[in-house]
A and B are shown apart, each in its own frame.
Chain A
Amino acid sequence: MTKYVGQRIKRTEDPRLIKGLAHYVDDVRLPDTLHVAFVRSIYAHARIAGIDVTEALKAPGVVAVYTGKDIATKVGPVPCAAALPDLKVPDYRVLATDKALFVGHPIAAVVATDKYLARDAVDLISVDYEELPVVVDVEAAASGGPVIHEKFGNNIAYTLTSGEGDIDAAMNAADHIVKQRMVHQRLAPIAMEGRGVLARYFPGEEELTLWSSTQIPHLMRTQVALMIGLAENKLRVITPEVGGGFGSKLNVYAEEALLSWISIQLGKPVKWIESRRENMQATIHGRAQVGTVEVGCKNDGTITGLRYNVFADLGAYHQLLTPAIPTLTGLMLSGAYRIPAIQMNVTGVFTNKMSTDAYRGAGRPEATYVVERAMDIVAAELKMDPVEVRRKNFPAKSDFPFHVATGLDYDSGDYEAALDKALELSGYAKLREEQTKARAEGRIVGIGMSSYVEICALGPSQAMPAGGWESATVRIEPTGKVTVMTGASPHGQGQETSFAQIAADELGVDLNDVTVIHGDTAIVQYGIGTFGSRATAVGGTAVLIAIQKLKEKAAKIAAHILQRDASSLSFADGRYSLPKGDAPVPDAGTSDPAVPVGEAPAGALPEPQTEGRSTLTIQEIALIAHIAKELPPDTEPGLSATYFFEPKNFTFPFGTHICMVEIDKETGETKFLRYVAVDDCGKVINPLLVDGQIHGGIVQAIGQALYEEVVYDEQGQLVTGELMDYAIPRASQLPWFELDRTETPSPVNPLGVKGVGEAGTIGATPAVVNAIVDALSPYGVKHLDMPARPEAVWKLING
């Protein structure tokens, strides 16, 4: 029975956001707050021979200055949760001690009475740098060059081989082998709200409250408690409104632990709000792989094997998941296809740059790009239509669950259905005709597609560094209001709305009676957080099952009041009812409560009316359960339930994107003529939210394809240090998105949902680049690296 699930319900979060009434970390204003500003390395690699803080300490408003040496033994290292065989893990102190390893590396922290004085004092600190040779290029760093962490002897953090099947035999069996080097450029996640931290220590209670703009309040609480040596249950992490994360806040950063420690030292609240420049320098970056793919295929287009040798640019240190991200690439190298043998050889490499880590898609966009570009290269080699090469290698709907040679079992899929729908929606055959016509007119027009599959709902705990489940507590208050507490940590996804939809339907209550609470470790049971397109598939399922648990108890109470066996009662529209024709006990007549719950006079709880009822609402049962005078024997008062949902597998959303681009022959500029996306994310709770996720995802994918790149020069200086240089797409640069869906439920969870947060970013990038390469194919172009800046395209056109 669904009333809300599946509806395009507007986000209940939006009014406060639109009106400017939401509270981000910087909106939390506490009396006597001190402000922190950082001295950050201006060099990519330098020995710190000395730091003179004398003048800064004398500056107006300055309360304290801390350097790496001051705190080296006080605050533990920035944590890395990734576990890989023989992984080299550098000691990542919250402030640099003897060496600075990237531009933006925090060296000293100034604490002052306001943020302006703190910033002014930063300029009074002189750091005696001895510059060291810098290594920026990932392949140069891997093959020698200056060693960043001397104790490791070289810059290789790890090497790993993954995949199944006999890759050499597969290549030998091929009629053709295509090979292409591909660069996945370094990107900046650019959440609209940068990071922000406010720490407040209560010396009497010996408790610390930490407000942080994060995606993982609970995991952060555990990690920061360990870093600063505070009992975990003396630390409360509050995640207020978070203005986007895209993975960049799926982390535990130096600043979070350092401010916590400083607040304890000074006994006052301390705050730091990241500037955009700091955000570009010292918040994680994404992607940054340079690899070569080899694909073996038969003359008819059947793929026999795929090998990907890749260097992953990890940056100078490991953040929380840095080394693990490329392993996700390895997991997704089968794409949407049957490939008997797959091998990835990855070399994780230290460079004098900020760490890479999870950025929307996190390793899967790289895999999808490799596979989807390779499919087009195969099609070109065999002179086949890219559609047919894909179709040839799809597993059939009946093949699911489908084992792929990366070791995964895809849950469900119908790849041809999504492809066919996209072909139909785009009018693919007609687009090809238009392209032929345009070419005859001398125009440069291309059509690109991508049939992606991604891995979501991360994930079973066996596959995760620190738990892959999610939690929910659902409580019906005495007044009938429903409180849902989720361990997920929505930061723009809209789960205050979609989880309320799930709860309202399952309980048969009004949507407005449901409030979803998240992001406060003192209120919400332990949870994992929001990342990897997991919140609805894992956290939403926890909500559903917690409600089902709660309803088992509610049914018992209903049975007790209605004096029937629980199994004889029906539940619909939020009411437990007697079977049809069954008269209430002791006598029929009054079948509705005198005072509806929630409409009692001010100051009074409504009296539960239990005599002569034929139906009881679940909200009335909550009141009965709290007053607790008429409960069945051995029944706990109250009406709440908690569930920790452990998924048995990941989910595998998929879809096909098709776009058509035109390139300006004289300037190399790319413009979109069409953009069609058919996505399958399983069952849909709220189509409006799903469309929004697809839109945002495609935008960031187009950003990678056409505009974005974090550029460091040879000295390791960040060239794209501001949004004046780093180009994120604007609405005016984007096409109209024509969206549609197929719906293949996931068998992994009872909601049948798969996840959609990263689909657009994963699916769209290769579609755009494939279109550009297709457009340029008359010029002999077989590949170009991203971003497809006009100049690069122009050069290809002009030989």
Chain B
Amino acid sequence: MISTQFDYVRAQTLDEALTLLAQNEDAKILAGGHSLIPAMKLRLANPPLLIDIGRIKDLAYIREEGDQIRIGAMTSHYQIEASELLKQICPLLPECAGHIGDVQVRNKGTIGGSVAHSDPGGDWPATVIALNAELVVAGKNGERTIKADDFFVELMTTALEPGEILREIRINKSGERNGQAYVKMHHPASGFAVVGVAANLTLDANGACENASIGITGVSSKAYRASAVEAALNGSALDEHATANAAAHAADGVEINGDLFASEDYRRHLAVVYAKRAINLAASRAR
């Protein structure tokens, strides 16, 4: 990598990182480096200071706390992918992690880094939306909690204020008759999501959809909640007809990306197809 010149500090604590960030407005947080470093390589990002929070052990954990699952922002994709606990209580997380990059990327990249980067083809944003996650961010003046729905603002832009660092992801445990799924078309070159759909369904005692939560990435400039799909699913029998009808709304109201690999029309179509597949898979797991 032949980037511009930069300074590098390996923060030992979150407080140290927050202090450094407060003192250096243009500094960037290094949280695995799988998006930032490639951007620096191309000199698209030229931060004068990198604050590496990837070695702060206190920020890498997966634990249950009451009705919640709490995941430290510096937990690697691989740690999530391999977590037996998560496979039991929130299988969407390990399933999503397994779709990210390759083994090397999953070993180094972190959930917090990916969520805070808000890449339009990133996998985690769709998943944290579908799980109705709360994102705990730390700043010099304390912490606040942002709902995943409010976190992703625009292309590579989040609700993080200057000086804030994403610290933890909190997810409410699901109850009975819950099914989750993440399906994705991988871009053949980058491995990012051309379309990625995370579905989190809870059925009622009769097998109808009680609550649907659907996050979609890759389709637009940021991951989004597919509210129209959810509305169509809620109360439905999740039969083939209902699912297809609901999935047809997967790209409603969003501006769709088009590129060499997938035009807008094709991506809209893929969003519908993958939404249907995610819903069907999640429903089958819920039953």
User: Which residues from chain A sit less than 8 Å from chain B, CB to CB?
Assistant: 37, 115-116, 119-120, 275, 277, 666-667, 669, 706-707, 711, 719-720, 722-730, 733, 789-791, 794-795
Contacts and interface: CB of A to CB of B under 8 A. Distances in A.
A719 B259 CA distance: 10
B5 A120 contact: yes
Nearest to A707: B188
Contact of B2 (A115, A722, A729, A730): A115
Given A720-B260, A723-B189, A724-B190, A794 B5 contact: no
B171 interface: no
Contacts of A667: 185, 270, 273
B119 to A, nearest CB: 11
Given A719-B260, A725-B260, A669 B2 contact: no
B190 A791 contact: no
B262 A727 contact: no
A277 B185 contact: no
A618 B88 CA distance: 69
| Most interface-central of A115, A729, A790, A791 (chain B CB within 10 A) | A791
A116 B189 contact: no
Contacts of A666: 273
Contacts of A722: 42
Considering the complex of A and B, which 8 residue pairs feature the smallest CB-CB distances, nearest first? A727-B189, A727-B188, A791-B266, A724-B190, A119-B2, A666-B273, A707-B188, A725-B189
A791 B2 contact: no
Contacts of B188: 706-707, 727, 729, 733
B245 to A, nearest CB: 16
Interface string B23-64: 000000000000000100010000000000000000000000
Contacts, number: 47
A116 B5 contact: yes
Contacts of B190: 724-725
Interface in B183-216: 185, 187-190
Contact of B263 (A707, A727, A730, A791): A791
Contacts of B4: 120
Nearest to A115: B2
A725 B38 CA distance: 13
A277 B260 contact: no
A733 B185 CA distance: 12
B108 interface: no
Given A120-B4, A120-B5, 4 more contacts: A719-B260, A727-B189, A789-B261, A790-B266
A320 to B, nearest CB: 28
Contact of B260 (A37, A706, A711, A723): A711
B269 interface: yes
Interface string B165-188: 000000000000000000001011
29 contacts: A37-B2, A115-B2, A116-B5, A119-B2, A120-B4, A120-B5, A667-B185, A667-B270, A667-B273, A719-B260, A722-B42, A724-B38, A724-B189, A725-B190, A726-B189, A727-B187, A727-B189, A729-B188, A789-B261, A790-B185, A790-B262, A790-B266, A791-B261, A791-B262, A791-B263, A791-B266, A794-B266, A794-B269, A795-B266
Interface in B239-277: 260-263, 266, 269-270, 273
B189 to A, nearest CB: 4
A277 B261 CA distance: 20
Contacts of A720: 260
A275 B2 contact: yes
A792 to B, nearest CB: 9
B190 to A, nearest CB: 4
Contact of A277 (B42, B263, B270): B42
Nearest to A665: B273
Nearest to A117: B5
Contacts of A729: 188
B191 to A, nearest CB: 8
B37 to A, nearest CB: 13
Nearest to B269: A794
A707 B5 CA distance: 36
Interface in B83-140: 102
A520 B84 CA distance: 55
Nearest to B187: A727
Contacts of A119: 2
Question: Which of the listed residues A711, A719, A724, A728 has the most CB atoms from chain B within 10 Å of its own CB?
Answer: A724
A723 B188 CA distance: 10
A733 B266 CA distance: 21
Nearest to B261: A789
Nearest to B262: A791
A791 B260 CA distance: 10
Contacts of B266: 790-791, 794-795
A116 B261 CA distance: 34
Contacts of A669: 185
A795 B262 CA distance: 12
A706 B188 CA distance: 10
Given A277-B42, A726-B189, A116 B2 contact: yes
A531 B270 CA distance: 43
A597 to B, nearest CB: 48
Contacts of B262: 790-791
Contacts of B261: 789, 791
Contacts of A711: 260
A562 B78 CA distance: 70
Interface string B1-21: 010110000000000000000
Contacts of A719: 260
A729 B38 CA distance: 20
A579 to B, nearest CB: 63
